Amino acid sequence: MLGRFNDPLEILAVAIAFLIAITVHEYAHAFASDHLGDPTPRLSGRLTLNPFAHLDLLGTLMILFAPFGWAKPVAFDPFNLRNPRRDTAIISLAGPLANISSAILFSVLLRIGFLFLGAHVLLYFLEIIIILNVNLAVFNLIPIHPLDGFKIVEGFLPEDTARQWAQLESLGYIMILLLIFPLFGHSPVLSFIQPITSFILNLLLPNAGII
């Protein structure tokens, strides 16, 4: 999807929208951690909506040239949590939930904008924000380390099964690379999540398929 942007203004819009999406995502992780008893993100300056506190330069550049990108992960100390495994899952889930919530909010603004502005460049920018928030949320729910989905699944498994699941963590980065990069012209992970993101975007975008 993102690889189709070639105009410099479109690339700038994608970069700004990506900053908004990752800021919401990482702030939600930090907020959940702080709320559940671990001050580590707050003490390290991550409990903020300042995008530069969450920015990873390489991860941001990648969004301009590849169909994915990333931010600096929010570090937290599970030993400060009341129920470490469950609370870790909640902290992990907070990021994707924040992105979906943001997408819904911007969808409402987009629909209001269409009523008063018609076709307008601002509405095009809102569409990009919605698309990036939905894609970031769905992608992070994939249950492979270091994505949020891995810890979410671990947090709701029985203890014995969770220990076995945690052993898969060391394979995470290899699996991510194998799933992201195209095999025979197709990226397996993007082929998997595209029907899910398309379904959500069809609900949120008044004119789905414009971008």
Mean pLDDT of the region 154-175? 92
Active site residues: 26
- Where does 3-120 have alpha helices with state H? 8-35, 40-43, 57-65, 84-117
Domain ranges in the chain are: 2-204
Distances (CA, A) of 94 to 49, 101, 128, 151, 183: 15, 10, 22, 12, 32
Q: Letter for the amino acid at 178?
A: L
Share of the chain above pLDDT 70, in %: 88
Residue recorded with tokens 């082929």: 191
Q: Who wins on pLDDT, 166 or 58?
A: 166
pLDDT for residue 184 is more than 80: no
pLDDT for residue 185 is more than 80: no
pLDDT tens, residue by residue, 7-28: 777 778 888 898 899 999 999 9
**CA dihedral over 170, 173, 174, 176, signed as positive or negative:** positive
Question: pTM of this prediction?
Answer: 0.88
pLDDT for residue 65 is more than 80: no
Q: Determine what percent of the chain falls in helix, strand and coil, rounding each to the nearest 5.
A: 70, 0, 25
Task: Output the pLDDT for position 28.
Answer: 98
Mean pLDDT of the region 199-205? 94
DSSP 161: H
Residue-averaged pLDDT of the chain = 87
Task: Output the pLDDT for position 66.
Answer: 64
Q: Letter for the amino acid at 209?
A: G
SS3 136: helix
